[in-house]
Chain A
């Protein structure tokens, strides 16, 4: 059984890039375009890792992380946030909300995969 990763981002191109990159190494990838749909998807399908953008319309990433940590099945699930280097404040807010770690945008696939495989080793 491949591990499932849910990636939440309002940018279609980032969503697709993330998806393709993860699929090349055998993860099952589901996507959502904002925090609200992301939360919905996470409840329908238990993810082994959630990767979320922070700035999104409707429900933002910080709120999504907070909501996920409140769900019993997501208390210990790794959650990575996509952030820009300049934004330490957001990063810390994300950590306080319970994020496992972060990936700095723009990322290159090798680095991205290294972080993903660190927090969510492939099955």
Chain B
């Protein structure tokens, strides 16, 4: 690696590290805001800031480092009890955190401008510093182009100091031109090698802070003459100097800093025992594993069809099967991320938004450790933001309204997650005014979506607010009034093969319950057949498969129930539901018993073919016309099997006037 590569790698590493640190800083600041006297948290804020500053400087972000230095000063003062922590201070620091994010995202040429633009915020923050100090610090905090004249006293070497090290430090502050002032250099016969005769003019080509420059020389304050002057702001204007007494020397030749940095970076990389990998690379890996799983089923299928294949090959095929399963699980596990990171972003949102709205809201987060596939988590962010905003905007009342309603002045917003089988359930709930079923009902009838005399459960009724154009109507429910409807949320959740449910009690609050698959890529499936077609049922929902007792074989118009160990379980016949129009070929059909949210249900198929590792492929544009399928998969022999979305199938069957009577048209 040459120096440029090391530097760019180092900057890249810092950007990644800074993202984490900024998130931690934000979390700590928010915590500090609620408990301003907690010194442990104050120390945490300080430490994070300090790390950010320190790593920034080592990674070539000197301007950021010197900017942060002043922020750190304020928190240092707070840490030493010289300044009380106030929410105004935290506000400003959060704002600074935001601008650092922008700074890091900006192209190198524009980054400095981001910080410069933020200097009013910094000044405002520095105003919190104790009286006399604030004015001075404020002046020093503003960056300007500086010219430094550094004339060491003759005895400098006797203090063990070397002028070179100060010049090195100056170069770290920012780009500068250094020239040697050698007018005091005597002729060789009079030269005392232990005496320092030289002086330097240092001219910064970018703005730096006077303070930072002074700090460089703090060891030799009394051992040199130091003159720091702001330069004329126009970069073109050359400062005057006596050409006869100066000679310019390459500043680069004076520094050995490059080597230090290279070794420090190598050490930092070597000590880390975790590895950061871009998610695109993981996606590619998952795709490849998907292909491998399909290839594995080709091998397995071929082996099964050809008994003449040597036994060794059969054995190898079985090993291949178990290895691909392990490999698949390992890789999918890498993609699992805790939902806490997603949740923690909401602290800030809730804080800022509730303040804007004049509401007092307490955010409760539960189940942060719940893990989900990264792809799903990423796409979940926007729907969650929408739901949280929705709760804050419309669900939760102002303190006055709450007191009038006999509630505590501060509302509660709860974000919770837990795993349930192969799904993760995420709830966004509040104790606000809730949804008004009567108003939703009236609106649904008005829109022609519901018969006047229809009986419908509240849960089903609430689904209407998720329809496009429904929630935007005026005064329908507490959820209305915003230009963007909840239909956007529903669409995203649908795309993720998730479901969304609403629960509410008027006056007591509302709950949005999202149920999402753990992963999008591969599931364990149960392969079944109907006629010549193969279908995949999610194995996680299947409990057992039995023969359909005789007497059930004819497609009955009545309610279909099968008795298993004394329990009557309703069943659906896929053959009828999917409109095959032919009788089953076998004497005995099979029933797969599915357990869905504590309810048992049977699905009648021709044959149960066994477990199948299913690589989910999207149905793409066909999807809207095939709502009961969550995707498709390619089988070992090249055929396509559809993956049945059981909850959707149940909903579909339930909507039909008589069960299994109106067939589903598979017109794609």
Interface residues of A (CB under 8 A from B): 24-26, 69, 75-79, 95, 98-102, 108, 110-111, 117-119, 121-122
Contact = CB atoms under 8 A, between A and B. Distances in A.
B260 interface: yes
B267 A78 contact: no
13 contacts: A25-B264, A75-B157, A75-B158, A76-B160, A78-B161, A78-B162, A98-B158, A99-B159, A100-B160, A101-B219, A110-B54, A111-B54, A119-B162
Contacts of A95: 159, 222
Contacts of B54: 110-111
A119 B160 contact: yes
Interface in B403-443: none
Contacts of B168: 118
Interface in B358-381: none
Contacts of B161: 78, 100-101, 119
Interface string B265-287: 00100000000000000000000
A69 B161 CA distance: 13
A122 B160 contact: no
Given A75-B158, A119-B161, A119-B162, 14 more contacts: A25-B267, A26-B263, A75-B194, A77-B160, A78-B161, A79-B160, A95-B159, A98-B159, A99-B159, A110-B50, A110-B54, A111-B54, A118-B165, A118-B169
Contacts of A101: 161, 218-219
Given A25-B264, A79-B160, A98-B160, A121 B256 contact: yes
A100 B263 contact: no
A77 B219 CA distance: 15
Nearest to A97: B159
B160 A78 contact: yes
Most chain-A Cβ atoms within 10 A of its Cβ — which of B158, B165, B263? B165
Nearest to B51: A110
Given A25-B267, A95-B222, A118-B169, A100 B159 contact: yes
A108 B51 CA distance: 11
Contacts of B219: 100-102
Range, interface on chain B: 20 to 34
A69 B155 CA distance: 13
Most chain-A Cβ atoms within 10 A of its Cβ — which of B50, B194, B219? B219
B59 to A, nearest CB: 13
Contact of B260 (A76, A108, A117): A117
Contacts of A76: 157-158, 160, 194
Nearest to A75: B158
B269 to A, nearest CB: 14
A111 B65 CA distance: 13
A99 B160 contact: yes
Contacts of B162: 78, 119
A47 to B, nearest CB: 11
Contacts of B194: 75-76
Contacts of A122: 260, 263
Nearest to B218: A101
B135 to A, nearest CB: 22
Contacts of A77: 160
A101 to B, nearest CB: 4
Most chain-A Cβ atoms within 10 A of its Cβ — which of B50, B159, B267? B159
A64 to B, nearest CB: 13
Contacts of A25: 263-264, 267
Contacts of A119: 160-162, 165
Interface in B242-297: 256, 260, 263-264, 267
Nearest to A78: B160
Contacts of B169: 118
Contacts of A108: 50
Interface in B172-219: 194, 218-219
A40 B263 CA distance: 33
Nearest to A119: B165
Interface in B130-162: 157-162
Nearest to B166: A118
A25 B259 CA distance: 13
Contacts of A121: 165, 256, 260
